[in-house]
């Protein structure tokens, strides 16, 4: 009996010790801070995109981690890019190429999001700002502020462009046609004499007035509020009372349009000193993007209705100012100011982490959903298959991994989900059931450990699809780009191709697809693309479109038109009124004539 009692007491003591040790062991798993900016291209120090860029905090993060210089998005437009990033499933496997809510796609609905997988592995999950384009709050244990695209100028009951922006660019609307400093507007009016004030807001009806009495006495911008939220929560998580590791994500809006940030950021970039991007005259002539964005028979655009947003923005900008150069300088000034404003918030987050014990056990990731063209190929937007749109900044700081190093291996945002599984040793299935899809990416951990020569198990090229509005998609028939270390290959849905030697031609000026001496390289990349896509008759399950019996046919038609032309919602309230429809249609999308 004494021996038995001793064994029992010893076993009980061991169990008690385990109950004390277990949380400490669990907390040895690294925390994660995931920062994503909107529409951020390579205008970041260290990426060579613009010599005037001021991003000391992003540069500081790069010095403490690995900077991927050839990271690319899965699709260069917000909604589907973020859906792919946070589910780890590529558009050609999910069918999500557009703005339909991501959780209505059967494949994505039945696949775990990154944050849900962290939660299933015992992590506390927190988020704020613009993360997934259609935010599903249940995916997070704690959520801060919903996506807010403000500040917006507001006049006569609707959002308008910044009063400094001239026509015709201002006529694009309050989001894509607007940029300028966040200043006191008490004495400002619209061209038709309406008084202007500020408000915040997103696509929904939650707008609130914003006050700007002076630059030192004003309301915060949405990005500043999300910076506060991040700092407060990181301090709370660092206080040592919780043994639970965390996954915290912050989505900053800038430099998404409207490019409106406090005046002091504009002051960093004197207009006359801004360098313009290197743009080759007639560079667009040997490209074929317009052949899939124009009229059905492939003719060149004959009216604004057949132009896509990038062409429309470029043409409107350069005709709104006395010279093309001035228009580009003013827009680039606003873009650089917006990037600098976000960098300041990133610096606050880094300062907070580095001032706590979290610094030694926290992974920090910084990236964007896609890039942005700044006039190259007469294009001012995202959603192209050229470098300016597909490339994203990607910086990863991870405990025990390389520091102050660059990696030029072509990688994808799709790779972030498996990378975090690897770094955090997450377990379990990422598919909820057989209707979901396995992760498409590959872990970047070997490249984080050895950026120059780590064993990369992923493909040699980063794959990017092109968004084009449709009700459903056939993956094998969409438009795609492959970015290898030394080549870019583009195949459009109509079979037209582009090929660029990115070593000799980093600006992608000369399309080599038609030159006989490059046919072998063209054929090889064409076959590599086809090998990664589903067969021609493979179509992922699409959202079930059910007629809305509560709305008249005309209202259903207008809703469908809104899905195709979200920019028609000029006041950005998430609804398309008949007045907005008629105004937009008359200006940008006139009905075809008999000769068209």
Band the pLDDT of 572: cuts 50, 70, 90.
Answer: low
| pLDDT reading at 549 higher than 80 | no
| pLDDT tens-digit map of 492-529 | 999 999 999 999 999 999 999 999 999 999 999 999 99
| pLDDT reading at 15 higher than 70 | no
Residue 116: predicted pLDDT: 98
For residues 238 and 263, is the Cβ–Cβ distance under 8 A? no
The pTM of this model reads: 0.87
Please state, in angstroms and rounded to a whole number, the distance separating the CA atoms of residues 594 and 487: 43
Tokens of 36: 């994503």
- Could you say which DSSP state residue 210 is in? E
| pLDDT reading at 8 higher than 90 | no
| pLDDT reading at 7 higher than 90 | no
Please state, in angstroms and rounded to a whole number, the distance separating the CA atoms of residues 271 and 93: 45
Residue 571: predicted pLDDT: 65
Assigned CATH topology for domain 31-150+221-545: Alkaline Phosphatase, subunit A (3.40.720)
Choose between 48 and 595: higher pLDDT: 48
| pLDDT tens-digit map of 22-71 | 333 345 899 999 999 999 999 999 999 999 999 999 999 999 999 999 99
Residue 101: predicted pLDDT: 92
- The percent of residues in the chain predicted with pLDDT above 70, rounded, is 86
DSSP states of 88-140: ---HHHH---SSS-GGGSHHHHTB--HHHHHHHTT-EEEEEESSSSS--GGG-
| pLDDT reading at 1 higher than 60 | no
Torsion angle, CA of 326/329/331/337, rounded to 10 degrees? -150
Please state, in angstroms and rounded to a whole number, the distance separating the CA atoms of residues 58 and 346: 7
Residue 546: predicted pLDDT: 53
Band the pLDDT of 476: cuts 50, 70, 90.
Answer: very high
What is the pLDDT of the chain when averaged over all its residues? Answer: 89
pLDDT (mean) for 384-407: 98
Bridge partners, 143 (sequence order): 127
Residue 562: predicted pLDDT: 75
Give just the sign of the alpha carbon dihedral 185, 191, 193, 194.
negative
DSSP states of 141-203: SEE--------EEEETTEEE--TTPPTTGGGG-TTTT-EEEE---TT-B-TTS-B-EEE---S
Range name among 150-159, 294-303, 463-472 with the lowest pLDDT average: 294-303
| pLDDT reading at 185 higher than 90 | yes
Please state, in angstroms and rounded to a whole number, the distance separating the CA atoms of residues 123 and 114: 11
Residue 586: predicted pLDDT: 59
Give just the sign of the alpha carbon dihedral 62, 66, 70, 75.
negative
Band the pLDDT of 468: cuts 50, 70, 90.
Answer: confident
The three-class DSSP label of residue 14 is helix
| pLDDT tens-digit map of 218-245 | 999 999 999 999 999 999 999 977 789 9
Residue 299: predicted pLDDT: 38
Residue 591: predicted pLDDT: 47
| pLDDT tens-digit map of 445-455 | 999 999 999 99
Band the pLDDT of 206: cuts 50, 70, 90.
Answer: low
| pLDDT tens-digit map of 113-156 | 999 999 999 999 999 999 998 889 999 999 999 999 999 999 98
| pLDDT reading at 187 higher than 70 | yes
Q: What is the residue whose two structure tokens read 């000769």?
A: 595
Residue 26: predicted pLDDT: 42
Q: How far is CA 432 from the centre of its chain?
A: 25
Torsion angle, CA of 63/230/180/205, rounded to 10 degrees? 150
Residue 568: predicted pLDDT: 77
Tokens of 458: 């992923």
Angstrom CA distances, 587 to 173, 303, 503, 582, stand at 12, 10, 42, 9
Choose between 92 and 584: higher pLDDT: 92
Q: What is the residue whose two structure tokens read 């438009």?
A: 479
Choose between 294 and 236: higher pLDDT: 236
Q: Domains of the chain: which residue ranges?
A: 31-150+221-545
Q: How far is CA 45 from the centre of its chain?
A: 19
| pLDDT tens-digit map of 87-106 | 999 999 999 999 899 999 99
DSSP states of 74-102: SSSSHHHHHHHHHH---HHHH---SSS-G
């Amino acid at each position: 009996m004494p021996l038995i009692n001793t064994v029992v007491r010893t076993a009980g003591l061991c169990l008690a010790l385990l109950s004390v040790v277990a949380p400490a062991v669990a907390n040895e798993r690294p925390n994660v801070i995931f920062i994503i900016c909107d529409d951020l291209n390579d205008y970041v120090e260290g990426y060579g995109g613009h010599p005037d860029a001021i991003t000391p905090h992003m540069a500081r993060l790069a010095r403490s981690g690995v900077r991927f210089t050839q990271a690319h998005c899965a699709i260069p437009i917000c909604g589907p890019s973020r859906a792919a990033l946070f589910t780890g499933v590529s558009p050609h496997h999910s069918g999500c190429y557009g703005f339909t809510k991501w959780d209505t796609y059967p494949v994505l609905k039945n696949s775990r999001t990154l944050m849900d997988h962290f939660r299933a592995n015992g992590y506390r999950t927190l988020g704020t700002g613009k993360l997934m384009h259609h935010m599903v709050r249940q995916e997070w244990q704690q959520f801060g502020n919903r996506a807010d695209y403000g500040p917006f100028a507001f006049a006569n009951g609707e959002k308008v462009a910044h009063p400094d922006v001239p026509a015709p660019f201002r006529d694009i609307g309050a989001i894509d046609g607007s940029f300028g400093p966040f200043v006191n507007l008490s004495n400002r009016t619209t061209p038709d004499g309406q008084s202007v004030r500020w408000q915040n807001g997103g696509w929904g009806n939650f707008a609130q007035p914003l006050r700007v009495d002076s630059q030192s006495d004003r309301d915060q911008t949405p990005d500043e509020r999300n910076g506060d939220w991040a700092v407060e929560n990181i301090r709370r998580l660092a206080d040592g009372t919780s043994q639970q590791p965390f996954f915290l994500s912050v989505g900053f809006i800038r430099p998404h349009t409207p490019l409106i940030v406090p005046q002091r950021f504009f002051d960093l970039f004197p207009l006359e000193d801004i360098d313009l991007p290197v743009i080759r005259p007639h560079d667009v002539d040997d490209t074929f993007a317009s052949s899939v964005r124009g009229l059905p028979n492939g003719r060149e655009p004959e009216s604004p209705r057949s132009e896509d947003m990038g062409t429309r923005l470029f043409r409107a900008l350069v005709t709104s100012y006395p010279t093309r150069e001035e228009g580009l300088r003013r827009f680039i000034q606003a873009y650089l100011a917006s990037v600098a404003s976000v960098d300041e918030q990133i610096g606050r987050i880094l300062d907070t982490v580095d001032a706590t014990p979290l610094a030694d056990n926290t992974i920090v990731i910084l990236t964007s959903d896609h890039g942005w063209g700044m006039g190259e190929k007469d294009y001012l937007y995202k959603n192209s298959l050229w470098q300016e749109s597909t490339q994203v900044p990607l910086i990863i700081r991870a405990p025990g991994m390389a520091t102050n190093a660059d990696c030029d291996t072509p990688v994808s945002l799709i790779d972030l989900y498996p990378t975090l599984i690897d770094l955090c040793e997450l377990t379990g299935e990422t598919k909820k059931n057989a209707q979901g899809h396995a992760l498409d990416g590959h872990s970047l951990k070997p490249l984080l450990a050895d950026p120059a020569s780590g064993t990369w198990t992923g493909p040699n090229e980063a794959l990017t699809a092109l968004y084009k509005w449709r009700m459903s998609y056939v993956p094998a028939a969409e438009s795609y780009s492959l970015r290898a270390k030394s080549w870019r290959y583009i195949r459009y849905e109509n079979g037209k191709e582009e090929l660029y030697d990115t070593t000799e031609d980093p600006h992608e000026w000369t399309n080599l697809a038609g030159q006989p001496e490059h046919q072998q390289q063209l054929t090889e990349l064409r076959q590599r693309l086809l090998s990664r896509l589903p067969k021609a008759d493979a179509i992922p399950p699409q959202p079930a479109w059910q007629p809305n019996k509560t709305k008249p046919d005309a209202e259903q038609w207008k809703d469908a038109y809104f899905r195709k032309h979200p920019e028609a919602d000029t006041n950005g309230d998430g609804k398309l009124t008949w007045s907005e429809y008629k105004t937009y249609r008359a200006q940008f999308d006139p009905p075809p004539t008999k000769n068209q």
